[in-house]
Structure 1
């Protein structure tokens, strides 16, 4: 169970890392790609931040994450500049691809197909 402090720091990291991506993301993965921070989970000792990202406007989402991991020191430094008044130690960053939105669209598409097939099946029975 997350403590109140973990939730506070996670929200702080989420807000500030989003701003870092707005400022420096274009240099790392290009201006046509959109990256959104969907969630942050902090370790109990607040030393590790698991950052979950959604990637849009590209088919190769994992490549964008790998490009960001290559520039992780730069991203962490920029995050540290924003967090230095709020935390004693800037957490290590671990990036994860959050594909829940893609899964939602896939499941929704399956339901739509089932609904369409079901509607066709009832018309044939009449």
Structure 2
């Protein structure tokens, strides 16, 4: 289903504010790795925001995701202070791992392996 203009506007607003909150809390750089908000998808009723996190060089992404989920209340409260005047209700936050970067690396590795296995295939 296509996202409405309002869903996209709110998702953009939340992404900007959550990025600032993550920076303030210290979740953006952890143990030499980086966490960024890859995207946010809003439900049609605007009551839930699905936040997809991209983790780069984080040793245990699932454990880090659990740490973030444990602090959801604190994050939502801070978000409410920032966007409370612009939204009737602050949406519930649901955090997920964004694995598109991992998928891209796996695909590149597969293409590299295919090319190494049969380098003369292109010349036939």
TM-score normalised by structure 2 residue count: 0.89
Question: CA RMSD, aligned part only?
Answer: 1.9
Inter-partner Cα distance in structure 1 for 2:24 and 2:84: 18
Structure 1 residue runs without a partner (length 5+): none
Q: 1:31 and 1:74, CA in 2 relative to 1: closer, same or farther beyond 3 A?
A: farther
Q: Higher Cα Rg: structure 1 or 2?
A: 1
CA distance change for structure 1 residues 36 and 63 in 2, over 3 Å: closer, same or farther? same
Query: 3-state SS of the aligned residue for 1:85?
Result: coil
Q: How far did residue 29 of structure 1 move?
A: 8.2
Which whole-Å CA distance do the structure 1 matches of 2:9 and 2:101 have between them? Answer: 25
Unpaired runs of at least 5, structure 2: none
Question: What residue is the counterpart of 1:25 in the other structure?
Answer: 26
Between 75-84 and 29-38, report the one with greater CA deviation.
29-38
**C-alpha distance in structure 2 between counterparts of 1:91 and 1:11, whole Å:** 13
Q: Equivalent residue for 1:63?
A: 63
Taking the aligned partners of 1:93 and 1:25, their CA distance within structure 2 comes to: 18
Measure, in 1, the Cα distance between the counterparts of 2:116 and 2:38. Answer: 32
| TM-score, with structure 1 as normaliser | 0.87
Deviations 1:48-69 (CA, angstroms, capped at 9, x unpaired)? 0000001122221011000000
Superposition pairs of residues 1-126 of structure 1, within 5 angstroms: 1-26=2-27, 30=30, 32-119=32-119, 122=120
Counterpart Cα distance in 1 of 2:53 and 2:108: 21
Distance 1:54 1:90, change over 3 A: same
Shift of 1:84: 1.4
State how many pairs are aligned: 120
Q: Which has the higher helix share?
A: 1
